[in-house]
Amino acid sequence: MNLIILLQQDFTDDSHVTLTDKRFEHIRKVHQSSVGDRVKLGRLNGMMGSGIITAINDHKVDIEVELNQAPPKKLPLKVILALPRPKMIRRIFRSIAELGIEELIVINSYKVEKSFWNSPALTDEKVEGYLIAGLQQAKDTVLPKVSFQRLFKPFVEDELAAIAQGSRGIIAHPATGKPCPHAINERAVLAIGPEGGFTEYEVNKFIDAGFEGIHLGDRILRVENALAAITSKLY
Amino acid sequence: MNLIILLQQDFTDDSHVTLTDKRFEHIRKVHQSSVGDRVKLGRLNGMMGSGIITAINDHKVDIEVELNQAPPKKLPLKVILALPRPKMIRRIFRSIAELGIEELIVINSYKVEKSFWNSPALTDEKVEGYLIAGLQQAKDTVLPKVSFQRLFKPFVEDELAAIAQGSRGIIAHPATGKPCPHAINERAVLAIGPEGGFTEYEVNKFIDAGFEGIHLGDRILRVENALAAITSKLY
């Protein structure tokens, strides 16, 4: 936790917060902070800065905050991701926020098991928690936009063109010809399939919408490594 | 598991193996293979190819193998990594093999807790298991070389120069001036610190040995994302 994210309800007035949950535990146990110590803070979707601890006991910490620093810019990148298996959702969503991706669109795909859509990891509250964990790691305050598209065909046929307009469309697919480009310096929309990959039908739907297929060489990376790898090559 | 790694003891003769462990379970339950089906195989530190299932029951699978394909080349990259906390060792070691890194040197650092060195995750058998999992994901057969250096100062003063000779030395450190270069097309040795980073003293030891400091922008990535991100920018 390199930055503690503050929520609306933490504020007792414009410049004071009281924390009692795991952020308090982190300040007390990991930082081992005491009165007068400074901690790095940011307001969710707002400014970043720091705070001085004015009181701390076994139950809560009071902090006087000064938020005067803009959060880092997002990468000009939207990611379209086939719904990962539930065990991976937390880690991948956290990485989306950590890497600075501005928007995530989670889609269905032939190789996504139907039951994955019922995962308790997909509640609004859980998803926001994963994203905030990523922001707290990366030192950012701005939640990426996240949406879900449970029907593949209407999504690629009716919505994809508008999403990709003005951006370079890229689909990661091990079998395709071109290596992933480096440092592209333009807006992009990146599609990443499920474990086992998109089907040929699905890949072709993206190609029809103007996407270019890219690969990462001979190695097949797990989704979370492919996400970090491609994002980092592109920007 | 995109490639099943075969060990010496699996072979009943030059071209036949019998599997009874979780690789067998994977073939039976995940692939749901039957006699005559083909599976992708590779011999640890050897050639890759495929095999045809000649018999399968509830306890074992017999496969006739044909290994005639060279494994993919490693990246010309050695990674020097501060020992991660035990919970992360498996994932990070697996990624080292998955990403195609040729050598991993695990070192001590001020912010590595002493107890981490006693982790049961560090036995030879466990470490090899993590690496093989990465190879099976990536479709590679060659184990990266892994070594451990429990004393920081003798390592950087007596061994680092020889390790970095003929390579570009790079140390990831958020506070340093230059962004991580892209597509360097040369051998490199990359040093990555623990959570919380290397100390200034430690960074300076690498700088003294000719390493250049690089950063990944305003965001602080977790070690596993930094590893995939920097590796992918460099190559």
Q: Are A206 and A171 in contact (CB under 8 A)?
A: yes
pLDDT band, very low/low/confident/very high, at A174 (cuts 50, 70, 90): confident
Q: Say how far apart CA B14 and CA B206 lie, in whole Å.
A: 48
Is the CB of B137 inside 8 Å of chain A's CB atoms? yes
Closest by Cβ to B229, choosing from A139, A221, A232? A232
Q: How far is A233 from chain B (nearest CA, A)?
A: 5
Which chain B residue is nearest to residue A216, measuring alpha carbons?
A: B232
C-alpha angle with apex A140: A108 to A228, nearest 5 degrees?
45
Question: What DSSP line would sit under A143-157, residue for residue?
Answer: PPEEEEE--HHHIII
CA distances from B207 to B83, B152, B213 (A): 20, 14, 7
Identity of the residue numbered A38: R
Region of residue A221 (phi > 0: left; psi between -120 and 50: alpha; otherwise: beta):
beta
- In tens, the pLDDT along B187-209 reads 999 999 999 899 999 999 999 99
Domain limits, chain B:
4-69, 75-234
**What is the model's pLDDT at position A12?**
97
* Contact yes or no for B217 and A2 at CB 8 A: no
B87 interfacial to chain A (CB closer than 8 Å): no
Q: How do residues B48-80 score in pLDDT, each as one tens digit?
A: 999 999 999 999 999 999 999 999 999 999 999
Percentage of chain B with pLDDT > 90? 96
Percentage of chain A with pLDDT > 90?
Answer: 96
- Per-residue confidence (pLDDT) for residue B175, from 0 to 100: 73
Is the pLDDT reported for residue A177 higher than 90? no
Is B232 part of the contact surface with chain A (CB cutoff 8 Å)? yes
Task: Closest CB to B139: pick one of A100, A220, A228.
Answer: A220
Strands A178-179 and A101-107: unpaired
Kindly state whether B95 is in contact with chain A, defined as any CB-CB distance less than 8 angstroms: yes
> What single letter denotes the amino acid at residue B228?
A
The alpha carbon of residue B154 is apart from the nearest alpha carbon of chain A, in Å, by 30
pLDDT at A176: 74
Cβ pair A137:B217 closer than 8 A: no
Q: What is the CATH number of domain A75-234?
A: 3.40.1280.10
Q: Which of B140, B225, B233 sits opposite A233 (nearest CB)?
A: B233
Confirm if A47 and A31 have CB atoms less than 8 A apart: no
Q: What residues of B are in contact with residue A231 (Cβ under 8 Å)?
A: 229
Q: What is the pLDDT of residues A39-76, one digit of tens each?
A: 999 999 999 999 999 999 999 999 999 999 999 999 99
Contacts A–B by Cβ distance under 8 A: 81
pLDDT-derived band at B176 (thresholds 50, 70, 90) equals confident
CA-CA distance, B74 to B144, in Å (whole number)? 9
Q: Tens of pLDDT along B102-151?
A: 999 999 999 999 999 999 999 999 999 999 999 999 999 999 999 999 99
- Side-chain-facing half-sphere of B165: CA atoms under 13 Å: 5
Phi/psi of residue A68, nearest 5 degrees: -135, 15
Q: How many CB atoms lie within 10 A of CB B14?
A: 7
Homologous superfamily (CATH) of B4-69 is: Hypothetical PUA domain-like; domain 1 (2.40.240.20)
B229 in contact with A at a CB cutoff of 8 Å? yes
Q: Does the structure show a pLDDT above 90 at B177?
A: no
Test B228 with A230 for CB contact under 8 angstroms. no
Selected for mutation to probe chain B from A130, A141, A222, A225 (highest B CB count within 10 Å) is: A225
Over pLDDT 70: what percentage of chain A? 100
Q: What is the 3-state secondary structure (H, E, C) of B166-213?
A: CCEEEEECCCCCEECCCCCCCCEEEEECCCCCCCHHHHHHHHHCCCEE
CA A222 to chain centre: 17
Q: What is the pLDDT of residue A175?
A: 73
ipTM: 0.95
Q: Which of B96, B106, B173, B167 is closest to B137 using CA atoms?
A: B96
Gap between the Cα atoms of A163 and A187, Å rounded: 11
Scan for tokens 């019998």, then name that residue. B18
Give the mean pLDDT of B222-235.
Answer: 97
Contact A219 B95 (CB under 8 A): no
pLDDT at A119 (0 to 100): 97
Locus of tokens 């790694």: B5
pLDDT at B109: 97
CB–CB of B220 and A182 under 8 A? no
Cβ within 8 Å, pair B228-A225: yes
Please compute the mean of the pLDDT values over residues A128-153 and round it to a whole number.
Answer: 98
Binning pLDDT at 50, 70 and 90, where does residue A191 land?
very high
Sign of the alpha-carbon torsion through B83, B175, A229, B50? negative
Distance from CA of B232 to the nearest CA of A (A): 5
Work out the mean pLDDT of chain A and round it to a whole number.
96
| Longest CA–CA separation in chain B, Å | 61
How far does the CA of residue B26 sit from the closest CA of chain A (Å)? 14
Which of B72, B218, B233 is facing A139, going by the closest CB pair? Answer: B218
For residue B174, the model assigns a pLDDT of 82
Q: Give residues 57 to 76 of A whose Cβ lies within 8 Å of B.
A: 72
